[in-house]
Structure 1
Amino acid sequence: MNQYNDLIIKCPNPEHPNNVKLVCFDESCKADRLYCMQCSRNGIHFSHPQHQYQLPNLFDHFEKIEKECDDLINRLSRQIDLVQQSFYQLIGGIKTKYVISKEQVLNLNSKQINSILAETIQFKSFRSTIEIQIQKSSNELQDQIQKLYQDLGLNYLNYYQVNDSDIKKSEEFYQKGYKLYWYDHKYEEAITMLDQALSVNSKHQLALWCKAESLKMLDQYNEAIVWADKALHIDPKHFNSLYTKAESLRMLEQYNEAIIWVDKALQIDPKHTNSLFTKSSSLRGLGQYNEAITWADKVLQIDSKHFNSLSTKSTSLRMLKNYDEALAVIEQSLQINPNHLDSLWSKGKCLQDQNQYQEALICYDKALKIKENHQWTKDRRNECLEALKKK
């Protein structure tokens, strides 16, 4: 607080030549909150001296309100996230109940088919009911939010304007930060530069996104989400911020939430390979292997050499015990890069699951030459050696 002791602000009363010395924090007070000693001698704020503080306390107040504001926004965001999770659960249930493949029908008996048929015949009535209910709830929520926005006077806020000089200075800091992030991969240095951009213009959307992305690259996923949310508060359809948030959620193993946010990104760019991969990998994390393969194939149609998608597809096939198909996909990735660790691990596990222990050992040994202290590989290798001893 001492750094603000020399702060100079003129008294709001034009007849007083003095500078502001005191601040009033009484909620019911109608007088000017900032006032000088002459105002005090004139009896202003006399009725509530317990709420009067020295001017430097103003900044303690602003810092406290900033924290409380961030806490409120985070709580509200969590409420909306819960709504989105419930919605995703709903649409997932609808798909599970009403989308029946030919293969599924062939594995059912006549009683089960009859039950499904009865439900699907009623789908038209169900569709009408649910659309009306969701539309009504959506309209009510939007009306309530708009009313709050107007009642709080948020549409009239204009405390300050960022001048052209500040905008230019902020942009210069952002460009330096972006270069450190994109070209130099110096993420911590990038964040330092981006913070300078945001200190001049806190609404610089690309600086907010770039800071979020830099935090993600440093594996600071929770912090990355916070800054991605700040960028999305300015533009809810900013593609890169949507992807950054979705991928951070995936890395935190919050797969349902990741899918919600990556779906928003894919509505903007349906062919963005990294977003498609995020969805595929999230589905795999949820154990939805067939769906994961479908989305991995979407990536591979665009980029046949996308390592991560090849790995996701092969792992999903392995979990479905489709070993031949899994091995074919793994061989495809190994042709591109014979030292691709995920592919060596996956191939070794496929062979091990089929009791081909000698062949699996070859894969594990190759993997250990690349990453010699990888415990999972060591454990699988020992399992194969023990199995060979028992033969």
Structure 2
Amino acid sequence: MRWSLALAQVVAERMRWSLALAQVVAVLVMWIGGASGVFPINVCPCSKRSLCQPLPAKLQFQVEVLIFDFGGTDYQYYDWSKITAVVIGDAFNPDLLCVAHANNARVIMKGNIPSAELKDRDMIKAWIRQKVDFASASFFDGIYLEQWQKIKGGTVEYEAITQLINDIARVFHRAIPGSQVSINVPWSPHCIDGPCYDYVPIASSCDFLFVMSVHMRSETGDECFAKANAPYDHTYTGLSAYINLGIDSRKLVMGVPWYGNDYLCKHFQEPGRCRLETVSSEGGSCTFSISTPKPYKDIMQELPKSFTGRYWDDNYKSPYYVYKLADEYHEVWYDDPESLSLKATIMKKLKLRGIGAWFGGFLNYSVNPTAAMQTEDMWNALCPIRRKWSV
């Protein structure tokens, strides 16, 4: 959880609110609070009213490519030829909606499942209605659900989440034809870390499960050394485990990180042997609370200044490097075009629904030629091309 908060802080530092955003939020708050039931027609932020219409149900893709966005203007430089959907956070730039729809990409709002209210059916029904009304009024194309608290099987909450997903998918699909309903799930279905769900019926109810094939280091519980954020083998076996439950592989989207983890070495022996301070936790002695998330664009600026340069670990199929700051050694493990391209092949091997990257703003969109090439390579590593088809 502390690691998630650290990542949230990195994201927050890069959030940039616009005046238009503030105006839209103010209108939305007044609309929800007044329960008028009708959203003012002039709130559409686009030059063409047609761009404020959700994408039709017939527009589907052979490969889904999701990008998570946290506000600002970086969306202008995304490779829209590859994106099928953008998941937005609270810091939402309204112009992104226009650009996304102009490029036949869906705009998906985030919704944090109210874990504390799961036992109260009336409150959950009201929460679902509020979310679908908000999405309709905002011209969004669906909802991406998050839930970070651990939930044990056999509990009331465990059953309630299954019912909630079924209900919210049914309501969204009816209210917004073509809308997309998904939920994030841990990298493995074996309840190793994070929430635990009844995955088969949930996958059947919603459009797909977004598998968080990131920050797996917290579950290894082995000798405490800095290691890869998202090892290839863990990624493959975690996704395979979902399929082995009986879930259709086309109901799975693989999440990958556009960031790395910076570890402070308690004892540095050599590259790849950065011993860490042990932290007692339920998942083991090594958790992500002992690392700091670092965006890919910052890694690319720091890497040339490191005293090791880029190393590659064949076991994890992941790069890393070591730098020294104030007489302390740091080891940074991350994903780059080579490691991401290898993970992207898992989509073809397992016939997955698609892939998604955390976060779009973690790449460098400056005019610097080197940065531009690095950013292009990261986009290409996700998916070489996007093919559209209708059903």
TM-score by length of 2: 0.23
TM-score by length of 1: 0.23
Larger Rg: 1
Higher relative contact order (CA 8 A, sep 6+): 2
> Which of the pair is proportionally richer in helix?
1
